[in-house]
Amino acid sequence: MDDRQIIELYWAREESAVSETERKYGPYCRSVAVNILGSAQDAEECVSDAWLGAWNSIPPQRPASLRAYLGRLVRNAALSLCRRSRAQKRGGGMEVLLSELGDCAGSRPSPEEEFDAGRLGEDISRWLRGLDGAKRRLFLRRYWLGESVGELARECRCTPNALAVRLRRLRLELKDFLEQEGYAL
């Protein structure tokens, strides 16, 4: 079933919308969740939350890319789960990801009423478009899809240390960009 048809099921409040979503995107969403959380059990809870999020938000939403939309729900659910301490207690991948992102962020949060995740996403997107394709995909696969350094290194045919150095350079480039854009780090 194509994405348009699945979205129409949500709009028609057909309960098969969730099973169709699970069928088409379940493995992908679990993969993202496991990458980020490092635990199959946490990933299952995360994906369940994402299905709930999809059911509650479509309508009124009509995503242009259902796959990206679901991935976003999974990422948000993973962060919620982490905040409830479950993933931290089990030593999930979220801690490592956040630790790496610490290179391009500060320790103090911006006031929530001033923080605009959407605008930040647009700015980071603009930065990514200025990179060559290989760097762009590397950043996204590590920090959006949560793929491990070891796995990425195998596919890039380099050592994990060499890949870690490349990722760190990317993070520092992002930090420079964000500072130029006026973000308080």
Alpha-carbon span 138 to 161, nearest angstrom: 15
Q: Which of residues 135-154 bind other proteins (CB under 8 A)?
A: 136-137, 140-141, 143-145
> x/- site string to other proteins, residues 106 to 125, per CB under 8 A?
xxxxx-x--x-xx-xxxxxx
Non-local (6+) Cβ contacts of 38 within 8 A are 87, 90, 91, 92, 93, 94
Residue type, position 143, single letter: Y
| Smallest distance from other proteins to CB 14, Å | 9
Is residue 168 within the footprint of other proteins (CB under 8 A)?
no
Residue 34 in the binding site for other proteins (CB under 8 A): no
* Distance of closest approach, residue 149 Cβ to other proteins, in angstroms: 14
1 contacts other proteins (rule: CB under 8 A): yes
Cis ω for the linkage preceding 59 (within 30 of 0):
yes
Pick 67 or 169: Cβ nearer other proteins: 67
State the minimum distance, in angstroms, from the CB of residue 66 to other proteins: 10
Residue 68 within binding range of other proteins, rule CB under 8 A: yes
Question: How far is 54 from 58, CA to CA, in rounded Å?
Answer: 6
Q: HEC string of 67-104?
A: HHHHHHHHHHHHHHHHHCCHHHHCCCHHHHHHHHHHHH
The one among 128, 149, 158, 164 contacting other proteins by CB under 8 A: 128
